[in-house]
């Protein structure tokens, strides 16, 4: 059995309540997606080791928690939490929540097509556009899987990641070790808002699934602008209309997100929007359905 079949079989056993969507997911994959999923599944086997079942259980945890938040979002039209302090108390400061959450999030890279599309975008539409010998920063690497792509890219000369969470940095370190990354990766406990000092600059910055966790998204984008070299590029991956136990900021639509990024001193180089349930972008925006948004931006000369 290959890695993908092995994980899919165990996931079906652990998640009979999600078997229909899990089977549909595999049936709808293109051959190119299957190749990427097989590669990611191989990495997940190494990361999870003998704990694979608990990663599959983490997937149940995340689906159940997101469903509860979705019902609340349908009633109120807003995310439940408003402050970082609430998210810290209810999620970040509770290992019994964080562990299944991060493990489940890792499994969504396989089972949620919008997450797989975001991985594909990073790999094929972002990294190849960076210059030879590029320097790279990831903000909020969490489980660490995304960082493995620049880490395994021979064109990447230096690699760094910042996270405010000690446990996330440990997860990232373990992940890179288990998937056999032997190069130097500078992992720093550092708040992204410190980027505003502009002392460290990078050719490429990955800012994936972090913006929606922040109270001050504009301040964050302006800070990251200072951490780009003059021709550097920022890849933002953020979900729209995606209620979760620790999400604070909802960009709501493609146009509002692009306006926000532009207003922070960036030119938009490219963007892609992946609605979660196979709806069109227009349907997803009109009905406030989840969309994974990817935006590549370069800083401009605007005086902010």
Ligand X SMILES: C[S@@+](CC[C@H](N)C(=O)[O-])C[C@H]1O[C@@H](n2cnc3c(N)ncnc32)[C@H](O)[C@@H]1O
Residues that bind ligand X in the complex, under the rule CB under 6 A: 105, 139-143, 146, 162-165, 168, 191-192, 208-210, 213
Residue with tokens 């990361």: 47
Q: How far is CA 269 from CA 20, 234, 265, 281, in A?
A: 38, 10, 13, 19
Q: How far apart are CA 288 and CA 59, in angstroms?
A: 23
Give whichever of 12 and 99 is closer to ligand X, judged by the CB atom: 99
Closest alpha carbon to 186 in 201, 173, 198? 173
First to last CA, the chain: 55
Q: Minimum distance from CB of 145 to ligand X (Å)?
A: 7
Q: Minimum distance from CB of 70 to ligand X (Å)?
A: 17
Give whichever of 140 and 204 is closer to ligand X, judged by the CB atom: 140
Q: Minimum distance from CB of 123 to ligand X (Å)?
A: 13
DSSP 83-134: -HHHHIIIIIT-HHHHHHHHHHHHHHHHH-HHHHHHHHHIIIIIGGGSPTTE
Give whichever of 12 and 200 is closer to ligand X, judged by the CB atom: 200
Give whichever of 15 and 168 is closer to ligand X, judged by the CB atom: 168
- How many helices (H) and strands (E) the chain has is answered by 12, 7
Give whichever of 130 and 139 is closer to ligand X, judged by the CB atom: 139
Give whichever of 168 and 241 is closer to ligand X, judged by the CB atom: 168
* Residue of minimal Cβ distance to ligand X: 140
Q: How far apart are CA 285 and CA 137, in angstroms?
A: 31
Give whichever of 11 and 168 is closer to ligand X, judged by the CB atom: 168
Q: Minimum distance from CB of 286 to ligand X (Å)?
A: 26
Q: Residue 138, Cα to own-chain centre: how many angstroms? A: 10
CB 9 within 8 A of CB 26: no
163 burial level (CB within 10 Å; 0-12, 13-18, 19+):
buried
Residue with tokens 């620790």: 246
Closest alpha carbon to 7 in 52, 58, 59, 61? 52
Q: Minimum distance from CB of 303 to ligand X (Å)?
A: 25
Q: How far apart are CA 2 and CA 241, in angstroms?
A: 35
Give whichever of 103 and 143 is closer to ligand X, judged by the CB atom: 143
Q: Minimum distance from CB of 79 to ligand X (Å)?
A: 14
């Amino acid at each position: 059995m290959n890695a993908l079949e092995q994980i899919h079989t165990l996931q079906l056993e652990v998640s009979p309540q999600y078997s229909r969507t899990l089977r549909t997911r595999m049936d709808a994959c293109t051959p190119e997606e299957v190749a990427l999923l097989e590669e990611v599944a191989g990495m997940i086997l190494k990361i999870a080791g003998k704990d694979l079942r608990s990663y599959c259980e983490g997937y149940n945890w995340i689906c159940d928690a997101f469903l509860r938040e979705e019902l609340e979002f349908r009633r109120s039209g807003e995310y439940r939490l408003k402050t970082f302090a609430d998210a810290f108390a209810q999620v970040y400061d509770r290992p019994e929540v964080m562990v299944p959450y991060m493990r489940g999030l890792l499994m969504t890279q396989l089972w949620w097509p919008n997450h797989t599309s975001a991985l594909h975008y990073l790999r094929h539409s972002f990294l190849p556009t960076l210059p030879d010998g590029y320097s790279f920063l990831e903000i909020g690497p969490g489980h660490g899987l995304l960082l493995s792509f620049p880490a395994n890219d021979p064109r990447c000369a230096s690699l760094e990641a910042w996270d405010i969470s000690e446990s996330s940095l440990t997860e990232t370190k373990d992940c890179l070790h288990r998937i056999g990354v032997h190069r130097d990766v500078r992992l720093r406990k550092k708040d992204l808002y410190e980027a505003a000092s502009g002392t460290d600059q990078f050719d490429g910055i990955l800012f994936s699934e972090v913006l929606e966790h922040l109270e001050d998204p504009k301040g964050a984008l302006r800070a990251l602008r200072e951490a780009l070299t003059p021709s550097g590029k920022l890849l933002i991956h953020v979900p729209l209309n995606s209620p979760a136990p620790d999400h604070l900021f909802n960009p709501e639509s493609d146009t509002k997100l692009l306006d926000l990024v532009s207003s922070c001193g960036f030119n938009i180089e490219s963007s892609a929007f992946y609605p979660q349930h196979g709806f069109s972008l227009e349907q997803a925006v009109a009905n406030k359905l989840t969309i994974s948004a990817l935006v590549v931006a370069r800083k401009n000369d605007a005086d902010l």
